[in-house]
Structure 1
Amino acid sequence: MRNSVLSYLFLPLFACLSVSAHAVTQTVEQMPRAAMATGAVQAQSARLDLNKADVQVLEAGLSGIGKAKAEAIVAYREANGPFTSVDELLEIKGIGNALLERNRDKLKVE
Protein backbone atom coordinates (compact mmCIF):
# COMPACT_ATOMS: atom_id res chain seq x y z
CA MET A 1 0.00 0.00 0.00
CA ARG A 2 2.74 2.40 0.99
CA ASN A 3 4.73 1.73 -2.19
CA SER A 4 1.76 2.35 -4.45
CA VAL A 5 0.99 5.70 -2.75
CA LEU A 6 4.61 6.78 -3.15
CA SER A 7 4.62 5.77 -6.81
CA TYR A 8 1.48 7.89 -7.42
CA LEU A 9 3.23 10.85 -5.80
CA PHE A 10 6.59 10.49 -7.52
CA LEU A 11 5.36 9.64 -11.01
CA PRO A 12 4.03 13.17 -11.76
CA LEU A 13 7.12 14.69 -10.18
CA PHE A 14 9.48 12.75 -12.43
CA ALA A 15 7.32 13.50 -15.48
CA CYS A 16 7.52 17.24 -14.74
CA LEU A 17 11.27 17.07 -14.27
CA SER A 18 11.69 15.30 -17.60
CA VAL A 19 9.64 17.93 -19.45
CA SER A 20 11.50 20.76 -17.71
CA ALA A 21 14.88 19.29 -18.55
CA HIS A 22 13.86 18.94 -22.20
CA ALA A 23 12.69 22.58 -22.34
CA VAL A 24 15.96 23.81 -20.83
CA THR A 25 17.97 21.79 -23.34
CA GLN A 26 16.10 23.34 -26.27
CA THR A 27 16.53 26.84 -24.86
CA VAL A 28 20.27 26.38 -24.34
CA GLU A 29 20.68 25.06 -27.90
CA GLN A 30 18.96 28.15 -29.31
CA MET A 31 20.87 30.68 -27.21
CA PRO A 32 24.24 30.55 -29.03
CA ARG A 33 22.58 31.21 -32.40
CA ALA A 34 20.89 34.32 -31.05
CA ALA A 35 24.08 35.42 -29.32
CA MET A 36 26.09 34.94 -32.51
CA ALA A 37 23.59 36.95 -34.52
CA THR A 38 23.73 39.77 -32.00
CA GLY A 39 27.53 39.59 -31.91
CA ALA A 40 27.73 39.80 -35.70
CA VAL A 41 25.58 42.92 -35.76
CA GLN A 42 27.64 44.52 -33.01
CA ALA A 43 30.89 43.59 -34.75
CA GLN A 44 29.79 45.26 -37.98
CA SER A 45 28.70 48.44 -36.25
CA ALA A 46 31.78 48.55 -34.01
CA ARG A 47 34.32 48.47 -36.85
CA LEU A 48 36.84 51.30 -36.95
CA ASP A 49 37.07 53.36 -40.11
CA LEU A 50 40.75 53.79 -40.96
CA ASN A 51 40.03 57.08 -42.68
CA LYS A 52 38.26 58.68 -39.72
CA ALA A 53 39.79 57.18 -36.56
CA ASP A 54 42.27 59.25 -34.59
CA VAL A 55 45.31 58.03 -32.64
CA GLN A 56 43.41 57.37 -29.39
CA VAL A 57 40.64 55.39 -31.11
CA LEU A 58 43.11 53.25 -33.06
CA GLU A 59 45.21 52.60 -29.97
CA ALA A 60 42.21 51.61 -27.83
CA GLY A 61 40.31 49.64 -30.45
CA LEU A 62 43.01 47.54 -32.09
CA SER A 63 44.96 44.64 -30.67
CA GLY A 64 48.75 45.05 -30.74
CA ILE A 65 48.58 48.72 -31.78
CA GLY A 66 50.20 51.10 -29.36
CA LYS A 67 50.64 54.84 -29.52
CA ALA A 68 53.58 54.74 -31.95
CA LYS A 69 51.84 52.49 -34.51
CA ALA A 70 48.58 54.43 -34.20
CA GLU A 71 50.51 57.65 -34.89
CA ALA A 72 52.19 55.95 -37.86
CA ILE A 73 48.77 54.99 -39.27
CA VAL A 74 47.50 58.56 -38.98
CA ALA A 75 50.75 59.97 -40.43
CA TYR A 76 50.54 57.58 -43.40
CA ARG A 77 46.94 58.62 -44.02
CA GLU A 78 47.87 62.31 -43.90
CA ALA A 79 50.84 61.83 -46.23
CA ASN A 80 49.22 59.47 -48.78
CA GLY A 81 45.53 60.33 -48.62
CA PRO A 82 42.69 58.14 -47.46
CA PHE A 83 43.08 54.37 -47.30
CA THR A 84 41.53 52.48 -50.18
CA SER A 85 41.62 49.09 -48.43
CA VAL A 86 42.52 47.58 -45.09
CA ASP A 87 45.43 45.75 -46.76
CA GLU A 88 47.13 49.10 -47.30
CA LEU A 89 48.15 48.96 -43.62
CA LEU A 90 50.93 46.57 -44.69
CA GLU A 91 52.74 49.59 -46.17
CA ILE A 92 53.29 50.97 -42.66
CA LYS A 93 56.51 49.97 -40.92
CA GLY A 94 55.83 47.68 -37.98
CA ILE A 95 52.53 46.31 -39.27
CA GLY A 96 52.82 42.85 -40.75
CA ASN A 97 50.46 40.13 -41.89
CA ALA A 98 49.91 38.69 -38.42
CA LEU A 99 48.98 42.04 -36.91
CA LEU A 100 46.71 42.87 -39.83
CA GLU A 101 44.91 39.52 -39.67
CA ARG A 102 44.43 39.88 -35.90
CA ASN A 103 42.60 43.18 -36.47
CA ARG A 104 41.02 42.72 -39.91
CA ASP A 105 37.52 42.09 -38.54
CA LYS A 106 37.73 45.30 -36.46
CA LEU A 107 38.55 47.56 -39.40
CA LYS A 108 36.76 49.05 -42.37
CA VAL A 109 37.48 51.63 -45.06
CA GLU A 110 34.73 53.98 -46.20
Structure 2
Amino acid sequence: MKGFIQASLIALAVLSAPAYAGDKEAKHEAKAAVSKKAEKLAVININTADVNQLQLLKGIGASKALAIIEHREKNGKFKSFDDLLKVKGIGSKFVAKNKSTIAF
Protein backbone atom coordinates (compact mmCIF):
# COMPACT_ATOMS: atom_id res chain seq x y z
CA MET A 1 0.00 0.00 0.00
CA LYS A 2 2.82 2.40 0.90
CA GLY A 3 4.47 1.78 -2.50
CA PHE A 4 1.18 2.42 -4.30
CA ILE A 5 0.75 5.79 -2.56
CA GLN A 6 4.32 6.81 -3.36
CA ALA A 7 3.91 5.78 -6.99
CA SER A 8 0.63 7.69 -7.22
CA LEU A 9 2.22 10.84 -5.80
CA ILE A 10 5.16 10.59 -8.20
CA ALA A 11 2.83 10.07 -11.16
CA LEU A 12 0.73 13.05 -10.09
CA ALA A 13 3.83 15.24 -9.80
CA VAL A 14 5.13 14.15 -13.20
CA LEU A 15 1.79 14.71 -14.91
CA SER A 16 1.17 18.13 -13.38
CA ALA A 17 4.70 19.49 -13.96
CA PRO A 18 4.27 20.22 -17.70
CA ALA A 19 1.03 22.10 -17.08
CA TYR A 20 2.65 24.22 -14.41
CA ALA A 21 5.76 24.86 -16.53
CA GLY A 22 3.62 25.96 -19.48
CA ASP A 23 1.63 28.30 -17.28
CA LYS A 24 4.82 29.80 -15.93
CA GLU A 25 6.20 30.29 -19.46
CA ALA A 26 2.95 31.93 -20.60
CA LYS A 27 3.08 34.38 -17.71
CA HIS A 28 6.72 35.18 -18.47
CA GLU A 29 5.94 35.78 -22.16
CA ALA A 30 3.02 38.04 -21.25
CA LYS A 31 5.21 40.08 -18.89
CA ALA A 32 7.89 40.40 -21.58
CA ALA A 33 5.33 41.62 -24.12
CA VAL A 34 3.97 44.23 -21.72
CA SER A 35 7.50 45.33 -20.86
CA LYS A 36 8.40 45.76 -24.55
CA LYS A 37 5.26 47.82 -25.14
CA ALA A 38 6.04 50.00 -22.12
CA GLU A 39 9.58 50.54 -23.36
CA LYS A 40 8.29 51.59 -26.78
CA LEU A 41 5.87 54.07 -25.23
CA ALA A 42 8.41 55.56 -22.83
CA VAL A 43 10.07 58.83 -23.69
CA ILE A 44 13.40 59.25 -21.97
CA ASN A 45 14.71 62.69 -21.08
CA ILE A 46 18.38 62.46 -21.97
CA ASN A 47 19.16 65.30 -19.52
CA THR A 48 17.62 63.70 -16.43
CA ALA A 49 17.75 59.94 -17.08
CA ASP A 50 19.85 57.70 -14.87
CA VAL A 51 21.96 54.75 -16.03
CA ASN A 52 19.05 52.28 -15.91
CA GLN A 53 16.70 54.55 -17.84
CA LEU A 54 19.31 55.25 -20.50
CA GLN A 55 19.80 51.52 -21.01
CA LEU A 56 16.19 51.29 -22.19
CA LEU A 57 17.31 53.06 -25.36
CA LYS A 58 18.20 50.82 -28.30
CA GLY A 59 21.94 50.21 -28.49
CA ILE A 60 22.81 51.57 -25.04
CA GLY A 61 24.57 49.44 -22.48
CA ALA A 62 26.00 50.40 -19.13
CA SER A 63 29.22 51.90 -20.52
CA LYS A 64 27.49 54.14 -23.09
CA ALA A 65 24.93 55.19 -20.50
CA LEU A 66 27.76 56.24 -18.20
CA ALA A 67 29.45 58.10 -21.07
CA ILE A 68 26.23 60.05 -21.68
CA ILE A 69 25.96 60.98 -18.01
CA GLU A 70 29.63 61.96 -17.76
CA HIS A 71 29.36 64.14 -20.88
CA ARG A 72 26.20 65.75 -19.51
CA GLU A 73 27.84 66.49 -16.16
CA LYS A 74 30.96 67.92 -17.80
CA ASN A 75 29.36 69.93 -20.61
CA GLY A 76 25.85 70.69 -19.39
CA LYS A 77 22.48 69.67 -20.75
CA PHE A 78 22.00 68.31 -24.24
CA LYS A 79 20.01 70.72 -26.39
CA SER A 80 19.85 68.76 -29.64
CA PHE A 81 20.75 65.49 -31.28
CA ASP A 82 23.91 67.18 -32.57
CA ASP A 83 25.00 67.64 -28.95
CA LEU A 84 24.34 63.96 -28.29
CA LEU A 85 26.58 63.00 -31.23
CA LYS A 86 29.51 64.54 -29.34
CA VAL A 87 29.42 61.65 -26.85
CA LYS A 88 32.04 59.02 -27.59
CA GLY A 89 30.33 55.91 -28.97
CA ILE A 90 27.13 57.68 -30.00
CA GLY A 91 26.58 57.94 -33.72
CA SER A 92 23.93 58.83 -36.24
CA LYS A 93 22.57 55.26 -36.34
CA PHE A 94 21.85 55.42 -32.62
CA VAL A 95 20.10 58.76 -33.04
CA ALA A 96 17.99 57.43 -35.93
CA LYS A 97 16.89 54.38 -33.93
CA ASN A 98 15.96 56.40 -30.83
CA LYS A 99 14.83 59.77 -32.18
CA SER A 100 11.20 59.25 -31.18
CA THR A 101 12.18 58.02 -27.70
CA ILE A 102 14.55 60.81 -26.64
CA ALA A 103 13.41 64.07 -25.11
CA PHE A 104 15.56 67.08 -24.15
The alignment's TM-score, normalised by the length of structure 2, stands at 0.59
Q: Is the 8 A contact 1:48 1:106 kept in 2?
A: yes
Letter in 2 for 1:73: I
Please say which of residues 68-77 and 94-103 is displaced more in the overlay: 94-103
Where does 1:16-35 land on structure 2 (aligned, <5 Å)?
none
How far the C-alpha of 1:86 sits from its partner, in A, is 2.8
CA distance in 1 between counterparts of 2:84 and 2:76 reads 13
SS of alignment partner, residue 70 of structure 2: helix
- Runs (4+) of structure 1 moved beyond 3 Å? none
Taking only aligned residues, the RMSD between alpha carbons, in angstroms, comes to 1.7
* CA shift digits 1:39-97 (9 cap, x unpaired): 9xx84xx21001110111101x1011000000000000000011111331110111111
CA distance in 1 between counterparts of 2:49 and 2:82 reads 16
SS of alignment partner, residue 76 of structure 1: helix
CA distance in 2 between counterparts of 1:101 and 1:77 reads 20
Q: Is the 8 A contact 1:50 1:83 kept in 2?
A: yes
1:8 maps to: none
The alignment's TM-score, normalised by the length of structure 1, stands at 0.56
Give unmatched runs, 5+ long, in structure 1.
1-38
CA distance in 2 between counterparts of 1:87 and 1:56 reads 23
2:57 maps to: 62
Q: How many residues matched?
A: 66
Give unmatched runs, 5+ long, in structure 2.
1-36
CA distance in 2 between counterparts of 1:104 and 1:52 reads 16
1:77 maps to: 72
1:107 maps to: 102
Letter in 2 for 1:106: T
Percentage of pairs with the same residue: 42
CA distance in 1 between counterparts of 2:92 and 2:101 reads 15
